[in-house]
Structure 1
Amino acid sequence: MIALFTARVKSLYPKFTMAERKVADYLIMNGDEIEDVTSHELARRLDVGQSTVMRFSKKMGYSMFGEMVADIKSSGDLSTEIQNGDGLFTVMSKVEAKYHELLKSVIRSNREEDLGSAAHLVDAADTIICYGCMESGLLASHLCWSLVGLGKSAYCDADIIQTKRRLRMLDPTRDLVIVVSKSGDKSEPVGMAKAAVAEGIPLLAICDASDNPLSRVATSSLRVIEIADRSTPMTSMGVDAGVMLMIDTLIASVYQQDRKKYAASYRGGIVAAFSERRE
């Protein structure tokens, strides 16, 4: 069974129902030998409802059960697992393979209508506040400067108190808050999200593909893959790359809303921003 799929199951395990955990346990133990099983057949084997099997595959980020089975079968062995005697070029190749697998999972977790909704929110906003805590704060800062490059008035501050003060000055009819949180359940980003909702400000979340407190309060969400296992440096590699993929996709999607407008503002966006800060 591919390591990424197993890690993903373990990350989501606390959020599964008891019946969904039976499906998860079976796939972890028998995924290497899984044949062309249907959702009905798997439900029969495990004595659970077919709806449980379908719901499990959707929580894992697949639009259809067949996609999950095909992905498990094509994944093969533990080829991305870094072994004790691997040379450094082999290590690089395995890290690249893991990135590729995780990025495919991120793409599969997002629908075109979600991208369209997120891009519309950003395109329509005059002022945008970006917020993230700790590692996600660096990603939020990257998003902020990418928006500035498009000519947007965007701000990012690691200080949650200062950010909430700035938030209260926003106009609910023409501004936006974007919260980046890989897990979607940390208290600081969820608190920022709830503060935006309380002020009536539209909220775009970039967070884990599973159901979580941040996605539940967001106006619109873009989905990434968080792997909670931090037992080695290798276990969570690629998670930030998934967030970067969604940030860059968001920027490109906003650009597509009005290519002429954003092409005209792009080159001068960063220069203008620095000029304003020097005054």
Structure 2
Amino acid sequence: MSINFWDLLHQRQDELTKSGRAVADYLLQHADEAQYLSISSLAKECNVAEATVFRFCRALGFEGYHEMRIALAQANATGSMVNHQELQPGATTATLCDHAHALFMTAINGTQNALSTEAVDEAVNLMRAAKQVFCFGQGGSMLLANDICARFSSLSTKFRTAGDSHLQLLTASLMGPEDVVLFVSYSGATRDMMETLRTAKDAGAKIILLTH
């Protein structure tokens, strides 16, 4: 069955325990923030146990917290209907699309909420003034760095990339004060990344870190 999260909560509200109603009240008052919280963080905000949050999810008909948060995120983002049943290997294409859409919207909304426009403006000014901009990343982040480089290269010839961590380190050692490194990293704390950025900084280059 597919139903909007808020309609579902309204239908089941009278069936909730006192602790469950505390969770419901928090979601109603902090819907945008709640969709990004882990189960432990939500439990802390509601002054209840994690088990209470899990029971709340089950009381609404969800298999667990993950499914509940997807439904909440999609309701917040689009107001559209969402399938709140557990995603199974034999799920329909429509169900898979609903889940994928909700996950992407959660990521987009989370980025928007965490974004500092001042930091974006500063990064833009650094890249605009740079002689060369090197787009680096490692592992899976290298794919994103290459994509960023390709997109910016359609606007300017100053954008560069390097194939692996060793070449990135070598390139960093040859940079100067007019160069900028745009480094993409999910964790923002890998050893190779720190070594490359330290080398680039010692050479006088400016650093922009795009991280989670």
With normalisation by structure 2, the TM-score equals 0.62
Amino acid corresponding to residue 181 of structure 1 in structure 2: S
Are 1:180 and 1:189, in contact at CA under 8 Å, matched by a contact in 2?
Answer: no
Which of structures 1 and 2 has the bigger CA Rg? Answer: 2
After superposition, the C-alpha distances for 1:118-152 in whole angstroms (9 at most, x for unaligned) are 11111111111111111100111111112211113
Corresponding residue of 1:183: 187
Per-residue CA distance 1:78-97 (angstroms, 9 max, x = gap) = 83852355212211121112
Match of 1:142, SS state, is helix
Alpha-carbon spacing, 1:32–1:186, altered in 2? closer, same or farther (3 Å): farther
Q: What residue identity is the alignment partner of 2:175?
A: L
Checking the alignment, whether the CA contact within 8 Å between 2:35 and 2:106 is kept in structure 1 is no
In the alignment, structure 1 residue 200 sits paired with structure 2 residue 200: no
AA of the residue aligned to 1:132: G
Greater CA drift, 80-89 or 158-167: 80-89
Instruction: Please show how residues 21-36 of structure 1 align to structure 2 within 5 Å.
Output: 22-23=44-45, 26=48, 29-30=52-53
Note the C-alpha offset of 1:196: 1.8
Map Cα deviations across residues 63-87 of structure 1 (whole Å, 9 max, x no partner): xxxxxxx97x959998385235521
Q: Structure 1's 94 and 22: CA in aligned 2 closer, same or farther, altered over 3 A?
A: closer
Name the SS of the counterpart of 1:176 in structure 2: strand
**Structure 1 gap ranges (5+):** 34-69, 209-279
Q: Does 1:120 align with 2:149?
A: no
1:171 equivalenced with 2:200 (yes/no)? no
TM-score by length of 1: 0.48
Structure 1 residues 85, 145: closer, same or farther in 2, change over 3 A? closer
Q: Structure 1 95/22 Cα, relative in aligned 2: closer, same or farther at 3 Å?
A: same
Selected match of 1:131 from 133, 136, 144: 136
After superposition, what is the alpha-carbon deviation per residue over 1:160-218, rounded to whole angstroms, capped at 9, x for unaligned? Answer: 2222222222221x21011100121222222222222222211000001xxxxxxxxxx
Alpha-carbon spacing, 1:168–1:101, altered in 2? closer, same or farther (3 Å): same
Counterpart contact for 1:130–1:140, Cα < 8 Å: yes
Higher relative contact order (CA 8 A, sep 6+): 1
Alpha-carbon distance in structure 2 between the residues aligned to 1:123 and 1:193? 20
Q: Residues 43 and 53 of structure 2 are in contact (CA less than 8 Å); yes or no, is this contact kept in structure 1?
A: no
Deviation string, structure 1 residues 28-62 (Cα, Å, up to 9, x no partner): 544997xxxxxxxxxxxxxxxxxxxxxxxxxxxxx
Alignment partner, residue 153 of structure 2? 148
Map 1:1-279; keep pairs closer than 5 Å. Answer: 9=38, 22-23=44-45, 26=48, 29-30=52-53, 79=84, 82-172=87-177, 174-208=178-212
Gaps of at least 5 residues in structure 2 are 1-26, 57-71
1:26 CA drift (Å) = 4.3
